[in-house]
Amino acid sequence: MWIFGWKGPSGFSARSTAEEVTQGIDGTGLTAIVTGASSGLGEETTRVFALRGVHVIMAVRNVEAGRNVKEAITKEIPTAKIDVMELDLSSLVSVRKFASDYNSSGLPLNLLVYSSMYAYGQSKLANILHTSELARRLKAQGVDITANSLHPGSIVTNLLRHHTIASTVGKYFLKNVQQGASTQCYVALHPQVKGVSGEYFVDNNKSSPTSLAKDVELAKELWDFSLSLTEPK
């Protein structure tokens, strides 16, 4: 991880915002699915994608909340192209319905930004392992699709903002939402990442995960286990 505020090889740092890392990038013609898009990092990612011309599909559990966010963003960015679709990632029935509805829509899919806050530490490890195995399989099949994982950093919450000591200390070590969403926006849109796959990013730069997260055999085992859980009985 780069020292907070120090720029890495990409030219960006932990303090860089999602708008800054996508400055000058034209995403017109791209379609993205953003999960968890009704709040936090997902909401900011949706806003910045829309600002750069990307057609965003907000995949949200609470459709009403998603529509409220869409309304707020389109008020700020009149040219924003945003649709809201229901998706509950904790339900395979919901996931399958979302996939079916999306396929039926005829829309292309250029970008998928997936994040999960369930059992945070374990889910982050699983995401890195899954992404690495997905990237390996795509490359082996000669498919021109890239898959990368990332850590957004520690984000200051609304709760901390009202705690004087935590808020004062936190501003030096924690990110706001605009900074927290930057790495996923960087990985998704920046030309520096074009063609890059199977990598792990932190603070808008390539990084190295834990040795456990780089375990190839564990990644394969997780992939097979996931298939056993998700295949229709």
Q: Which residues contact 187 (CB under 8 A, 6 or more apart)?
A: 148, 150, 193, 201
200 is catalytic: no
pTM of the model: 0.91
**Rounded CA separation 190/76 (Å):** 23
* pLDDT score recorded for residue 181: 97
* pLDDT score recorded for residue 169: 55
Where do the domains of the chain lie? 18-114, 117-225
Ranges of the chain with pLDDT below 70: 1-5, 116-121, 157-172, 233
Could you say which of 114, 120, 186, 200 is catalytic?
114
The single residue listed with the structure tokens 């609470």 is 62
* pLDDT score recorded for residue 170: 55
> pLDDT of 102-117, one tens digit each?
999 999 999 999 976 5
* pLDDT score recorded for residue 156: 79
> pLDDT of 7-28, one tens digit each?
899 999 999 999 999 999 999 9
CATH architecture of 117-225: 3-Layer(aba) Sandwich (3.40)
Task: With beta carbons less than 8 A apart as the criterion, state whether 31 and 111 touch.
Answer: yes
Q: Would you say domain 18-114 falls under CATH 3.40.50.720?
A: yes
